Amino acid sequence: MPPARCARRRRKENTMLDITVEKQPEGRVRVSLTGSLDTQTHAQCEERIQPLLTVATRVLVFDMAGLDYISSMGLRVLMRTTKALAAHGGQCILTRLQPPIRKVIEIANALPKEAVFASVEEADRYLDVMQRRAKEAAANPTPPQR
């Protein structure tokens, strides 16, 4: 008698992603993600982010405290966002990642370690220092070397 085979059906779940966009002073935008950033929700996320990828956005901060799952398509959204912002001198920062999400991003080497922060406050302190340095550099330009 042949071995019994179980037909395994993959349960199709409707995943949800809530996206909140908050524009802040000095070209900063905070995007809070809650739910899953995956194959079913990545297009929704890209649609919301696309209009933000302008020269007016100097820093886009993803607040990921409510994100409980990310797939390769979700990583793709983050990498594309980072690349689009970098093209005009902008920056993408991730804050408040759940440990499993942080691990996926580290394993995939999706973003530089300098772009991942434990809290929004930590990211704000970093951005304040970077902005101060940029202003100081603009006020005291280095003469060209001969």
pLDDT at 86 over 80: yes
Radius of gyration of the chain (CA): 19
Tell me how crowded residue 66 is: count the other CB atoms within 10 A of its CB.
Answer: 14
pLDDT at 57 over 70: yes
Res 5: pLDDT: 39
Distances (CA, A) of 66 to 19, 48, 105, 122: 10, 17, 16, 18
Q: For the chain, which residues make up each domain, given as ranges?
A: 17-139
Res 45: pLDDT: 97
How far apart are the C-alpha atoms of 24 and 138, rounded to whole Å? Answer: 23
Tell me the backbone φ, ψ of residue 143, rounded to 5 degrees.
-65, 150
Q: What is the mean pLDDT of the chain?
A: 84
Q: What is the pTM of this model?
A: 0.76
| Dihedral, 70, 73, 75, 79 alpha carbons, nearest 10 | -160
pLDDT confidence band for 130 (50 / 70 / 90): confident
- The second-level CATH assignment, the architecture, of 17-139 is 2-Layer Sandwich (3.30)
% residues pLDDT > 90 (the chain): 58
